[in-house]
């Protein structure tokens, strides 16, 4: 029960005498509020607990990766191809991945927007909605304008194919295969997804979920494989983090320290 402050009565010198705690009125769910809106509200409430962005001086950011609700099962058929062309042609942001796991994002002026490191040496990468990156060590071009760059409010959570919202993301699996690093060059934000386990991992990007498949060494593709799936909606807290304005993470000045070090 939430208490409300005593009510001041005009013409008196103090508050009215209360006979006991007064319960605040209950807020009813508006009829037009959909389940998608409720899920979005929950995601925003959990955003503070999402994986911490990789910033200088924050230690090992992937140590805060959350345990995700993976569901184990048989591998699905290959995901349907997503053939919609990218919506952006202006790609001034460049992502460079080094063999030792160093990652750097620069703009077309040569300014470094992010310098960080992966949890391990890069093994595989996908961009946008699951397009494999053929050469990890060649610069990758991205646009500063993406669906998540406008914040989670600019993305509809009930899209028939949620892969449309993944444009502008970079997904990197390192040789430990324990974490999946997701980079959003448009905001210079990074989150880390805890993998369910296994070796020889491969990703499948489906309209409504992400699939991780582990194929034992020497096994035929999609034979004797274990698979885990995760709904895209389960990653809403991480998507909120990826869409954050990077200036909000910079330390603010005070009267005694007007120019704090980052």
Indicate the pTM of the whole model. Answer: 0.74
pLDDT of 219 reads 60
Residues 6+ apart with CB under 8 A from 191: 50, 51, 53, 65, 181, 182, 238, 241, 242
Residues 6+ apart with CB under 8 A from 103: 95, 96, 97, 114, 115, 116, 117, 118, 172, 183
The C-alpha atoms of residue 136 and residue 138 are separated, in whole angstroms, by: 6
- Digit-coded pLDDT (tens) for 56-82: 335 689 998 999 999 998 888 999 999
pLDDT of 158 reads 79
CB 179 within 8 A of CB 119: yes
Q: Does residue 34 have a pLDDT over 90?
A: no
pLDDT of 55 reads 37
For 111, other C-beta atoms within 10 Å of its C-beta total 8
pLDDT of 152 reads 82
The C-alpha atoms of residue 226 and residue 76 are separated, in whole angstroms, by: 10
- CA-to-CA separations, 248 to 18, 212, 240, 243, in angstroms, rounded: 43, 33, 13, 11
Task: Give me the chain's average pLDDT, please.
Answer: 79
Stronger pLDDT, 8 or 233, i.e. the higher one: 233
Q: Does residue 261 have a pLDDT over 80?
A: no
Q: Does residue 246 have a pLDDT over 50?
A: yes
Q: Does residue 141 have a pLDDT over 60?
A: yes
pLDDT of 245 reads 83
179-201: average pLDDT: 95
Longest dimension (CA), the chain: 87
Q: Grade residue 218 by pLDDT with cuts at 50, 70 and 90.
A: low
pLDDT of 151 reads 82
Place of tokens 């993998």: 195
- Digit-coded pLDDT (tens) for 143-176: 999 999 888 887 887 788 999 999 999 999 999 9
Q: Grade residue 9 by pLDDT with cuts at 50, 70 and 90.
A: very low
- Digit-coded pLDDT (tens) for 16-28: 444 444 444 433 3
pLDDT of 127 reads 97
Q: Does residue 255 have a pLDDT over 50?
A: yes
pLDDT of 226 reads 81
pLDDT of 87 reads 79
Share of the chain above pLDDT 90, in %: 54
CB 99 within 8 A of CB 253: no
pLDDT of 138 reads 97
| Residue 221: strand, helix, or coil | coil
HSE, side-chain direction, 13 A CA sphere, residue 75: 18
């Amino acid at each position: 029960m939430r208490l409300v402050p005593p009510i001041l009565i005009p013409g008196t010198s103090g508050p009215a005498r209360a006979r006991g705690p007064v319960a605040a009125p209950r807020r009813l769910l508006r009829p037009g509020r959909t389940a998608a809106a409720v899920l979005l509200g929950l995601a925003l409430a959990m955003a503070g607990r999402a994986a911490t962005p990789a910033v200088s001086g924050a230690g090992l950011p992937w140590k805060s990766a959350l345990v995700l609700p993976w569901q184990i099962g048989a591998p699905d058929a290959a995901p349907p191809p997503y053939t919609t062309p990218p919506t952006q042609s202006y790609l001034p942001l460049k992502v460079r991945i080094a063999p030792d796991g160093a990652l750097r994002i620069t703009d077309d002026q040569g300014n470094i927007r992010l310098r960080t490191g992966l949890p391990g040496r890069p093994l595989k990468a996908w961009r946008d909605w699951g397009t494999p990156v053929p050469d990890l060590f060649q610069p990758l071009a991205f646009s500063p304008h993406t669906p998540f760059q406008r914040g989670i409010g600019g993305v509809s959570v009930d899209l028939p194919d949620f892969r449309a919202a993944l444009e502008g993301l970079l997904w990197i699996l390192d040789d430990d295969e324990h974490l999946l690093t997701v980079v959003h060059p448009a905001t210079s934000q990074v989150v880390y997804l805890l993998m369910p386990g296994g070796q020889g991992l491969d990703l499948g990007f489906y309209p409504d979920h992400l699939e991780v498949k582990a194929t034992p060494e020497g096994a035929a593709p999609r034979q004797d494989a274990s698979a885990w799936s995760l709904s895209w909606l389960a990653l809403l807290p991480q998507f909120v983090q990826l869409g954050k304005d990077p200036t909000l993470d910079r330390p603010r000045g005070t009267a005694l320290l007007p120019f704090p070090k980052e």
